[in-house]
């Protein structure tokens, strides 16, 4: 589903963010992406969402080489990807409903369809009935759930999260990860960037580790098991 082959990223200022990164995330897999601040986690996610382009190597999403995806088709590619941020990027003066509905409004869904889908998404994240609240009335954990509802409302096959638990206490963090797990159980491919090693250790998922732009744990989990 997501494949990196010898991928490097050097920013225009000369900062080397990724170096010869190889990994393959299978359809339906859930994995963590970890490493210290500056290791290249955000850059790797930005290459998947085509916010940045690779300097060298090949990034494929669903078998498509994204270097061959023209600027005009990038929005179509992004519809396959739900993105969750640490600071959730919510519109703080808009209702929960309006925030979650945004991707559907952009895609031109009918009003009735939007209401149905927003209700379903809020139900999934445990915020049913909070449509009319505005984000500042909600707790940090609830705000993060609004961000997650918005990311999954158009049912993307891929879910990416950049430090989704960065501002939450351990209990709320675990709740959020369990939520990702339910999406994964439903078939969504999930990649979660986090430097919270304690959290990762509590869940049995493959972990991809970046160190100064180099991938340490790039092998498929099967190969690692076979190696001992």
Q: Which of 6, 11, 22, 186 binds ligand ADP (CB under 6 A)?
A: 11
Q: Does residue 15 touch ligand ADP according to CB under 6 A?
A: yes
**52 contacts: CB under 8 Å, gap ≥ 6:** 9, 43, 46
Instruction: DSSP for 54-84, please give it.
Output: -SEEEEEETTEEGGGS-GGGHHHHHTTEEEE
Q: What span, in angstroms and rounded, lies between the C-alpha atoms of 188 and 205?
A: 14
Residue-level length of the chain: 228
Q: Does residue 182 touch ligand ADP according to CB under 6 A?
A: no
Environment class of 198 (CB within 10 Å of its CB; exposed 0-12, middle 13-18, buried 19+): exposed
Q: Does residue 7 touch ligand ADP according to CB under 6 A?
A: no
**63 contacts: CB under 8 Å, gap ≥ 6:** none
Q: CB of 152: closest distance to ligand ADP in angstroms? A: 21
Q: CB of 205: closest distance to ligand ADP in angstroms? A: 18
Among 13, 41, 18, residue whose Cα is nearest residue 195: 41
Q: CB of 147: closest distance to ligand ADP in angstroms? A: 14
Stretch that binds ligand ADP, among 30-38, 61-69, 98-106, 127-135 (CB under 6 A): 30-38
Give how many residues touch ligand ADP by CB under 6 A. 13
Q: CB of 74: closest distance to ligand ADP in angstroms? A: 17
Q: CB of 86: closest distance to ligand ADP in angstroms? A: 6
Q: Which of residues 32-61 bind ligand ADP (CB under 6 A)?
A: 35, 37-43
Which residues lie near ligand ADP (CB under 6 A)? 11, 13, 15, 17, 35, 37-43, 86
């Amino acid at each position: 589903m997501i494949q990196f082959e010898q991928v490097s990223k050097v920013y225009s200022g000369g900062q080397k963010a990724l170096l010869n990164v190889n990994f393959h995330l299978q359809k339906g897999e859930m994995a963590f992406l970890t490493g210290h601040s500056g290791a290249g986690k955000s850059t790797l996610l930005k290459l998947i969402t085509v916010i940045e382009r690779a300097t060298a190597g090949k990034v494929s999403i669903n078998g498509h080489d994204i270097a061959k995806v023209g600027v005009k088709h990038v929005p179509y590619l992004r519809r396959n990807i739900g993105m969750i941020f640490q600071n959730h990027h919510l519109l703080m003066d808009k209702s929960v409903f309006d925030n979650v509905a945004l991707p559907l409004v952009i895609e031109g869904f009918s009003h009735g369809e939007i209401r149905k889908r927003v209700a379903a998404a809020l139900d999934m994240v445990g915020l049913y009935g909070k449509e009319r609240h505005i984000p500042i009335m909600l707790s940090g954990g609830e705000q993060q759930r609004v961000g997650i509802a918005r990311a999954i409302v158009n049912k993307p096959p891929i879910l990416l999260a950049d430090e989704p638990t960065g501002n939450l206490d351990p209990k709320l963090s675990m709740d959020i990860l369990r939520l990702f797990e339910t999406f994964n159980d439903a078939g969504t491919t999930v990649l979660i960037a986090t430097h919270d090693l304690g959290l990762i250790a509590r869940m049995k998922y493959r972990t991809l580790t970046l160190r100064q732009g180099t991938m340490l744990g790039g092998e498929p989990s099967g190969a690692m098991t076979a190696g001992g």
